[in-house]
Amino acid sequence: MRQTLVQLTDDLVDALDRRAAREGVSRSKLVRDLLHVALNAGDQHDRALVEGYSRIPQSEASDAWGDLAEWSATNARRNVAALNEEDGGW
């Protein structure tokens, strides 16, 4: 393994030491484990998205956000027209 120097705040070191003691591991092992999880989290999330869209591709017909945008625009125009009528015009 390669050794590296990382500067941390006192609060962060205290939190690391408390957690390492709670888990019964060294500070170094805890830092390695936490870095491993953090660095791989994005990759796992990206793979999950790709797998999901591969299994169930999104089509225009099932685009909920597109439907919502169209619905919102239609209702916005209707509401503005109703307000305009109530106020006698802008």
Contact 14, 20 (CB under 8 A): no
> How far, in Å, CA of 40 to CA of 37, rounded?
5
Amino acid at 7: Q
Q: pLDDT, tens digit, for every residue of 31-63?
A: 999 998 888 877 776 777 778 777 777 666 555
Note the pLDDT of residue 10. Answer: 96
Question: What's the mean pLDDT when you consider all of the chain?
Answer: 80
Predicted structure pTM score? 0.49
Q: Which ranges in 1-90 belong to alpha helices (H)?
A: 10-23, 27-55, 64-87
Cβ neighbours, 10 Å, residue 16 = 16
> How far, in Å, CA of 63 to CA of 18, rounded?
47
Note the pLDDT of residue 22. Answer: 96
pLDDT mean over 57-81: 67
Note the pLDDT of residue 7. Answer: 95
